[in-house]
Structure 1
C-alpha cells in the first residue's frame, strides 16, 4: 500500500478491509485513482500486508517445464521479437500469431482456452497487442468495434478452463485507441454473452472452493493510435519497460514489479504531450505470491 502511494502521487484510496484471519473470503479490490483519472485495481485478499507475523504467505508453484504456454496475439508487429525473447527466457512455450483477422482471434483464444495440456503446466500467459479501445481489440481487418477483452478473460476462468483452475493466468495488453473505439460500448454486448458455453458440452459441477475468477492478473495499457505513425517511437513504452522488469526482476513478486512499472510509465507521462501518454491499469485476483522464477 505504501509503495503504491509513493509511486502514484495524489491518489484517493477506497478499499474493503473486512478480512478474516488476515485473508478475505472473496476477491476484493483496492482502487487507486490519480489526478488524470487513471484507475488501478489490485486485489488485497492475500497481499500479505494484513497477515499476522507468524503466518507465512503462500507462493504459487512455478516448477513445470515449461512454466506454461505464452499466447502472443500481435496485430501491430512492432514488439514481437523481444516479447518472444522475454517470455522464452522466463520459461514459457511461445505460441505466436501475427496479424490475425478478428474472426481468427476468436478461434485462437477459444482453442487455447480448451487445451487439456494446461493441466501439465503451472501457469498461463497471454500478450495481446492491437488497435481497439479500453474494452476491445481488433484484428488486422478492423471489423466492427472489435473483440471484447472481457470475452478473452472469461474464457480462462475456473469454470470455462478447469485445467487452469487454481493456477495463475497472466494477461498483458497493449491497445492503441482508434477513432471508432468510443462507439464500442453499444456493440460489444454481442461478443460477451455467457462464455460458459464456449464448449458445446455442459460443464460438470466441480467440488472446489477456489472462486472461478481467482488467480487472474490483468495488466491493461492503452495509448493513442498516433504512436504508430512515428517510426522512431512506434515501439510500446509499456511493453519495453514490462519486458525489462520481467527479465531483471523475475525472482521478485510480480505485483511488486508491476508497481515499479507503473511508476516508470507515470514518469514517462510527466514529460510528454497528452497524445503521447500511456494509461496503465492493473486488476488481479491472485490468492498467493507470484514469482515467475522457478521455486
Structure 2
C-alpha cells in the first residue's frame, strides 16, 4: 500500500471506526485476496463491531498495493457508499501541469565590445592549466584533528553503556509440552536451547529467570510483570521465547507465539509491552528479543527425528535446510521451527531464527541451529 493511502486511512480512521459495517465485508475481502481466512478470524476476535473496524483499518495498512482499491470497491458492493466516497475523494490528487517553457530573448545594448563585456560577466572564469607542482602535506591539520575528535565523540554517543551489575533482567520462556487439543507437538530439544542461553546470559551478568510451559495468558502476564519492574539502575533487558508460533497481522513485527493451550499472542504485542510509554525506566536502553518459534499460515505440528544420522553428514542431510520452506518430507532429520523479521523501533532489536515464510531447524537432541549459533558468538 502506498504511503498516501495509509495516510488517508489514518485521517479517516475516526469515521471508519464509527460507521464501518464489517460483517458484510469478510467474504469480499477474502475473495479479493486482501486478507487470508486466518487474518479475518483474528480481526473478528478483536471484540465489538468498533473493535473489529479499528483492527481492520490497522491491518489493511499492512497489505499490498491492491488492498486499498479492493477495500473501496468492497465498500461500494456492500452499500457503504459514503465511506467509499470519502476514501475515493481523498485519494484523488491534482495532476501537475507541465511547465509552459518558452525561450526568452535577452537583449544586450551597445556595440560588440559591450556585448562581449556584458556576456563575459555571466560566464565563469576558465580553469587555468596548473604549471607548478604543489607540495601536498599528509600531516593532518589542527582542524582535521579536531573533526576526528568530534567524530570519535559522536561515535561514543551512539554506543550503549553496559556497565551495571547485573547488566539487566533476562526472561527465558521455554514451552516444550502442549495440550493435546492444541494439535501442537512436543518441542524436543528445546531444553538444551534453554540451558545454553541461561548459562550464556548469566556469564554476561544478566539476572536470568526461566519460566516453562506457559499458556498464552501466562506469557503475557510474565512479560507485563517484567515491563513493570524498575530498570532504572540497569542497562539492558532481554527476552527469549522458545515455542511454536504462527503468522499474524502486524504493522512492524510479524508472527505470533503459541502458549501451551494452543492460543497465541502476537510478537508485536510482546514488544509493545516494553516501549517507552509502557516501560519508561527502559527508555534509551537496549531491549533485545530472541525468538525461536514456528511460523506460517498453518500451525506447525512438527515431527519426530532420529539421532542416528551419519557422523560425517550435516544434520538433515543438507546445509540448506535452514532456508527451505516448510514441507513435511521423509528423511528430514530436524524439526521446522521459526519465522523472521527485521523491523526495529527505537532501542529495540527483535531477532528471529529465519526469514518470513521460511523455516529454521531444531534437532531433538542438540537443540536448534539458531540457538547454537547464538551460543557460539564469542
Calculate the TM-score normalised by the size of structure 1. 0.50
Partner of 2:281: 163
In the alignment, which of 71, 75, 84 is matched to residue 175 of structure 2? 75
In the alignment of these two chains, the number of paired residues is 160
2:376 matched to 1:244?
A: yes
| 3-state SS of 1:120 partner | coil
The structure with the largest strand share of the pair is 1
The structure with the largest helix share of the pair is 2
Matches within 5 A, 1:128-139: 128-133=241-246, 134-139=254-259
Partner of 1:217: 349
| 3-state SS of 2:375 partner | helix
Partner of 1:148: 266
CA deviation after TM superposition for structure 1 residue 85, in Å: 0.3
Indicate how the Cα distance of structure 1 residues 60 and 224 shifts in structure 2: closer, same or farther if over 3 A, else same: closer
- Contact residue 75 and residue 99 of structure 1 kept, 8 A: yes
In the alignment, which of 224, 242, 248 is matched to residue 110 of structure 1? 224
2:162 matched to 1:62?
A: yes
| 3-state SS of 1:173 partner | strand
| Counterparts of 2:365 and 2:167, CA distance in 1 | 34
Partner of 1:89: 203
Note the aligned Cα RMSD (angstroms): 2.4
Unmatched 5+ residue regions in structure 2? 1-146, 177-189, 247-253, 301-343
CA deviation after TM superposition for structure 1 residue 60, in Å: 1.2
| Counterparts of 1:60 and 1:163, CA distance in 2 | 15
Calculate the TM-score normalised by the size of structure 2. 0.39
| 3-state SS of 2:207 partner | strand
- Contact residue 158 and residue 213 of structure 1 kept, 8 A: no
Which structure's relative contact order is higher, taking Cα pairs within 8 Å and 6+ residues apart? 1
CA deviation after TM superposition for structure 1 residue 231, in Å: 2.8
| Counterparts of 1:213 and 1:219, CA distance in 2 | 13
| Counterparts of 2:210 and 2:148, CA distance in 1 | 43
| 3-state SS of 1:219 partner | strand
- Contact residue 122 and residue 168 of structure 1 kept, 8 A: yes
| Counterparts of 1:164 and 1:244, CA distance in 2 | 28
Partner of 2:239: 126
CA deviation after TM superposition for structure 1 residue 99, in Å: 0.9
CA deviation after TM superposition for structure 1 residue 90, in Å: 0.7
| Counterparts of 1:150 and 1:140, CA distance in 2 | 19
